[in-house]
A = this chain, B = another copy of it.
Amino acid sequence: MSTPSTDAPLSGRRAQAARNDAVILDAAREVFMAAPDAPVSAVAHAAGVGISALYRRYASKEELLATLCLDGLRRFVEIARAARDTADPWGAFEALLRGVVDADVHSLTVHLAGRFAPTPEHGALAEEAGRLAGEILRRAQDARAVRSDVVDTDLPMVYEQLAAIRLGGPARDAALRRRYLELHLASLRADAEAHGALPGHGPSQAELGARWQREAGTGAAR
């Protein structure tokens, strides 16, 4: 909340506003990652600004969430691209999962889905993300590094499970997720297949896509 005007060409009020842009988005990310249905006032409080500063930038809560989700999708694609460029097939697969879990990117995407009307850009990025992850998985399976009976739609389910780990602060949760990611990785290795094939089949694209539809509250009948 200081460093008056050394890092930007703008000064005074204008600079403060520019800085607030980032502060607010960071606060929103932190707050909504911890609680997707947190009130807008919580974001303002976390950012150390008033509510007006928020509504000056985003027309509605929905727009803020859509922006945040877009940001998350871009992070996912970035992580996936970096992972894909890893030479070793298992290394690439491992990098993908570790990257996604470490950045907690799942909380920024799927957990926000259904709370705003998705734009075409959301769709395009989600598709690209799926394509990259699928490529990494296929390569790892072709190299007999990852068991052959997992499918690409199983991966979001792994993220989903790890994102459900919420016990302490963000730091403690990150440590716990690393611990349990290690277990997931062990179960996905090719040699784990020796103990038996996976029953049933992974989610369909339709089942995964259904989350992006706007739906009311908690899902219980009125």
Q: CB within 8 Å of B: which residues of A?
A: 31, 34-39, 41-42, 45-46, 154, 157, 160-165, 167-168, 172, 175-176, 178-180, 182-189, 192, 195-196, 198-203, 207-208, 210-211, 217-222
Contacts and interface: CB of A to CB of B under 8 A. Distances in A.
Nearest to A39: B220
A30 to B, nearest CB: 10
A38 B220 contact: yes
A26 to B, nearest CB: 15
Given A31-B221, A160-B165, A183-B192, 13 more contacts: A34-B219, A35-B218, A36-B218, A38-B220, A39-B220, A42-B220, A167-B210, A178-B199, A182-B196, A185-B195, A186-B186, A187-B192, A192-B192
Given A157-B180, A164-B160, A37 B218 contact: yes
Question: Top 3 nearest A-B pairs by Cβ distance?
Answer: A164-B164, A38-B220, A187-B187
Q: Which of A34, A157, A162, A163 gathers most chain B CB within 10 Å?
A: A157
A interface, over-half SS: helix
Given A198-B179, A219-B34, A222-B42, A157 B168 contact: no
A165 B176 contact: no
A106 B176 CA distance: 19
Nearest to A38: B220
A198 B183 contact: yes
Contacts of A200: 175-176, 178-179
Given A35-B219, A200-B175, A220-B39, A161 B180 contact: yes
A184 to B, nearest CB: 7
A179 B199 contact: yes
A64 to B, nearest CB: 14
